[in-house]
Structure 1
Amino acid sequence: MAATPPVCDFGWKAPDFRLVATDTHFYSLDDLKGENGLVLAFICNHCPYVKAVIDRIVRDAGDLAPLGVGFAAICSNDPESHPDDSYENMQAFAKQNRFFFPYLHDEDQSVARAYDAACTPDFFGFNKDLELQYRGRLDASRNKAGPEDLRRDLFEAMKQVAETGQGPREQVPSMGCSIKWKAA
């Protein structure tokens, strides 16, 4: 089922966390942030919306690095109801898609809850002070990749954040599969 996150809450401070990544190392916000900001992307392995743009996510993470913007992906889905999103399958997905950034496992879903993540993909773009400046889409792709010449919404927004500390006031929310929550 498709879900859409809420609009950007400008200035909201990123809650800290410590999660294990597919490389078996643990990371916190301080480990991930760049000198000009940070993107946290809630994704998963099985979602058709993520699969359609995973190459573009990796591209944009690479293009943001020289601008001083850190990048990490987080999988919060329940692996019992969705085995494709298990830690072992996250490791395979990261390798298959040549992730050079941390892919974090939110096993207890506490980070997704703290961030109010709604879907996969769900992008959170922070400035150097870890204040939210972007909560929008990667580009206009949906569950199929759009044309190569689509405007790169996430990249352009985070380039602006890196340069000015402020995100664009006009943002189009991401759309994707809902987070797969564990049974209460």
Structure 2
Amino acid sequence: MDPELQRRYRQLFRFYDVQGDGSLSVEGDFQQVAEALAARWQHRNTPFPDMLGLLLGTYAHESERRDLNHDGVVDELEFVDSHAPVVQAFLGMRPQAEAFIARAAGAFFDCLDLDCDGVLEVGDLEAYAAAYRKPTEGIRANLARMLAAFALPPDRLPRQVFLTLVEQYWFDPSPDVPGRWLFTLDCPTDASC
């Protein structure tokens, strides 16, 4: 697997590791995230009838798929290694993989898009990071630099651009794709946060 993709998957693992204990589990990391994301929809119509159940089911499925030694938790090596067949599938069946990304990442986009307007605001992304107990100070600047690559305003992330960024982050090791910054929380050196 490409070293740049491995670096990104390690970065993503650290983002997901809410407890900071070097392992991922539904109970230890993802349950509170799912609860926080579902709670944002309180007193609103959700895009899914049982959003909490959907999120918990998705996190459970992904954790089980990544738990290569079946010990109930996913460590960083398992997390990174579990992406190898996904990358291979993407390369071998690109049209089907792109359709899957549109469905899966698109559904996740819908979970974050609180006003259902097809655009994520900075607050939507900050709520996502906060659910993982991550700092939010650099999100606005990182979003602006990603959107600048698409000649878009700095604070509104349209669904199709989100899907492109997700695909770039997960599958395109190029050093110049804006999707490489998707889970970057630090303030860019050329911005004040």
Higher strand share: 1
Larger Rg: 2
Length-normalised TM-score, structure 2: 0.28
Higher helix share: 2
| Higher RCO structure (Cα 8 Å, ≥6 apart) | 1
